[in-house]
Structure 1
């Protein structure tokens, strides 16, 4: 039985294999950067936090309160789920705004924002959020219009909010 001496090519292979093993071990032990969704995940995992309240109104019940299409505008419902409904407002095939109604029983902070507002639309508390959103609080329901095109102004959002059947929505028992 002969012992083979570690020749130069075998020595290199062994060294490369050892370095790769060390590199994999070190990189595997490093802490990973948190995902951009990590905070939301932590918040949703807290005891008592519910994504959608059990008593939230079905989104399909909101559809009849949305503004009717016409005058060259098209309304295309894009999402409907428990506690929420959304439609795109289009004209000439271009998306101008998003119209939505959501049940704030799942997000009480959304309703709380309206407590100190002095603005009103059709008698209901209203507020502008940033440069692209305007909302109205109707009981436990938040009605919002979000500009999707720069040509759709705050005045346009307020006009479309007033076209919702806010009185009818205020009578909805969810």
Structure 2
């Protein structure tokens, strides 16, 4: 009986030592650890300038839902606001306004524009995006389905209250 008790104590002791040594062993770095370290140390491109307009100000100039379309706001933060455009329950486009103060390169692409929408310089980005520059604000419409064409995107850009957007500071 004493021998049986000693075996239990010895087994418990060995199990404790095993757990202690494996728990204290250094952990091998995961495959994403280096990327995480680099992204958290990176300073450029992370902050929005203090001069950027609050996203809630942009909501006032978004087009109203009409013609069987629904507008659903999806994101609002300093310098940016976005809404989905839905029809028959499907996402057909994304509408957005961004303050280019924090990203001056975003505004540079309009300098060579020969196209205008609503009197403002416009650019096509790929086959699914149309954008204009209103002062320091970029208004963009992205197609989510192939039947929502460049012409549709231009029409929806003109539905924004561009005059009110131009007056924002």
TM-score range, shorter chain: 0.7 to 0.9
Deviation, structure 1 residue 51: 2.0
For the residue of structure 1 that corresponds to 2:47, the secondary structure is coil
Q: Would you say how many aligned residue pairs link Structure 1 and Structure 2?
A: 143
Counterparts of 1:1-174 in structure 2, within 5 Å, are: 41=39, 45-46=42-43, 50-173=46-169
The answer to whether the 8 A contact 1:50-1:106 is kept is no
CA deviation profile, 1:19-76 (whole Å, cap 9, x unmatched)? xxxxxx9xx59x957877888x38x724x65521111100000011111111111000
Runs of at least 4 residues of structure 1 off by over 4 A? Answer: 31-39
Q: TM-score, normalised by structure 1?
A: 0.74
Structure 2 unmatched ranges of 5 or more: 1-25
Structure 1 unmatched ranges of 5 or more: 1-24
Q: TM-score, normalised by structure 2?
A: 0.76
Partner of 2:6: none
C-alpha change, 1:107 and 1:71, in structure 2 (3 Å) is same
For the residue of structure 1 that corresponds to 2:57, the secondary structure is helix
Cα distance in 2 between the residues matched to 1:50 and 1:122: 32
Q: CA RMSD in A?
A: 2.4
Cα distance in 2 between the residues matched to 1:137 and 1:120: 10
Partner of 2:18: none
